[in-house]
Amino acid sequence: MIGRRLATTEALIVLVSPDSDEELETIERWGRERDLPVHAVDVGEDIDPVYDPGTEYLGVTLGGDGTYLEGVRQFSPRRIPILGINAGTLAFLASISPADLTDALTEAVDGTATIDQRQQLHVDADGVDCTGINDVMIEHVPPEDPVERKITRLEVFADEEFIGQYEGSGLAVSTPTGSTGVSLSAGGPIHYPKNNATLQIVPLHTHRLGVRPLVVDADTTVRVASGGPANLLVDGGRAQTTLDEDAIVTIEGAETRAHVVTTSYDDDFFTSVSEKLGWGVRDGKDDTGTVHVGSRGPQEQRESDLRERARRVATEAARATGPPLRELHGQTESIEYKTDKSDIVTEADYKAENIITTVIESEFPDHGIRSEETVQRTGASEYTWSIDPLDGTGNFAHGNPNYSVSIALLEDDDPVVGVVYAPETDEMFSAIRGEGATLDGKPLSTTDRTSLDECMLLSGYDPDGTFLSHSYHEARGVRRLGSAALNLCYLAAGSADAVWEYDTYPWDVNAGLVVARAAGATVTNAAGDPYDPNGPIDARNELLGSNGPLHETLLAHLQDAETLQPSASSATD
């Protein structure tokens, strides 16, 4: 999940610990000022009565780490991002001070916070079947008679491979988030928790000097066989049971990550470690890590060049549409949703448009917006955004991965910045006019082929077969992918040598046009005149794009089609 998506927050769910009334009143007042509903739920109660699956929520916890862990338990399965306010005493996970509460909330819902993916673990044993974000502790049950055995014997396996037998006071299996206190006290490492998908196996008070902690991939299934009675605790006792002799505990990385919101008001990880665990590396050194603007206010680092800033914002907005689009795309061919494809496409269009326009309105309030869907806003400046939140709706509706998100910035109706994102392949095309085009940061360039029989062509809607019938037998192949924006980007990337579109709309091609031209493409209409993407919408507007060397040949095919006959000796598809 991308922090920019928080700009579409529609309501807050707040888990409230006792003695947090003052902080809750502050949040409710802040919510009224921003017209954001605030649903308060006492910690320990279920959020289901106030939860609506169709609403974009921000989850907030008011309390210490216990309240935060309860928030993780309830919010994570619903993919609700979590913001922790430290209204308790000592807290490591919930680190925002109540004094910074409203500023941190504002930063989050403005979309300028970040969201970290935190690995969770799933535990399955007799009496426990749950998910945790910190650790699983398996410890010896203290004997009633002090002369009885005081250690436990645990056999541990990674997938089907036997690791060994641990004898001591127990074992901890932790996520990177839970690798701090217990691991440190047992001589193990501390793991940086952000976007880290691992599990750590830490033996506790063993009787062999050579026994050391192990780190495994989160996809590894860890099995622990108990040689005697043992206590099992998940996340400090949020779930617990007593294991019998020969009991089996299965631990593996959970499929659902915790979405942790981080603002400029949170202590960074190493500052927290240093301050709360006495980490000695920073002794005598100032914190030179996170740079805050003003007095820890929201970061407003603005690039001097507006176009570069526009590309960055458009890229962030486009990528933020990825998770909801991929989720809805995955439903189109399921038995449950097959009869509601049009509803899914409508919802996908709305969600993507809402994310993009909200981000742009927040960053560029004086810019105009023209979207294919519902948003049409005239701005006070010469800049206007041209948006197609879902180009390739037919593909999307049928589960085909060839769809895209298209965002362009126009200066006096001239496209100057273009961003095209393909959610299913996670490919980000972007360009600034005159500065080159990139795919995921790598430069793009069109091909230099000059012979049509060596070339791959892409065709858009071609109702009378003008392009297909007079190019198919001449070229190496003609493909129709179903997304004009992607067609232009593939031309820019050299995956195709030419593109033909019988009719275009501005929102379909503005962004791809910037990318293609910046990569060296030539783009005209069928008569060879300069292509104008923002002409009258009620008139047909054809587009011919090529690598350049092929352009005159292709124009001749289109303009003199009657004299061109397919050659049997030409290369075929």
- Residue ranges at the known binding site: 65-66, 134-135, 150, 372, 388, 390-391, 508
Residue 416 · residue 409 · CB < 8 Å: yes
* Cα–Cα–Cα angle for 418, 423, 425, rounded to 5 degrees: 105
Evaluate whether 180 touches 236 at the Cβ level (below 8 Å): no
Annotated binding residues for Mg(2+): 372, 388, 390-391, 508
Q: How far is CA 445 from the centre of its chain?
A: 28
What span, in angstroms and rounded, lies between the C-alpha atoms of 502 and 540?
8
Rounded (5°) CA angle 177-181-183: 85
Angle (nearest 5°) at CA 130 between 126 and 134: 115
Dist. CA 298–CA 264, nearest whole Å:
6
* Residue the block writes with tokens 């501005």: 506
Q: How far apart are CA 73 and CA 238, in angstroms?
A: 10
Q: Hey, what are 137's tokens?
A: 């502790």
> What is the strand order of the sheet 456-459 is part of?
477-479, 456-459, 498-501, 543-546, 522-524
Burial class (CB in 10 A: 0-12, 13-18, 19+), 288: exposed
Residues in a beta bridge with 524:
530, 544
Residue 532 appears among annotated catalytic residues: no
Tokens of 451: 């012979």
What is the three-class DSSP state of 371? strand
Torsion of CA 44, 45, 47, 49, to 10 degrees: 180
CA atoms within 13 A on the CB side of 474: 19
Binding-site sequence positions for NAD(+): 65-66, 134-135, 150
Token couple for 75: 């919010």
Q: Which of 340, 148, 331 shows the shortest CA–CA distance to 229?
A: 148
Catalytic residue among 19, 46, 52, 65: 65
**CA dist., res. 206 & res. 189, Å (int):** 16
**Which residues are known to be catalytic?**
65
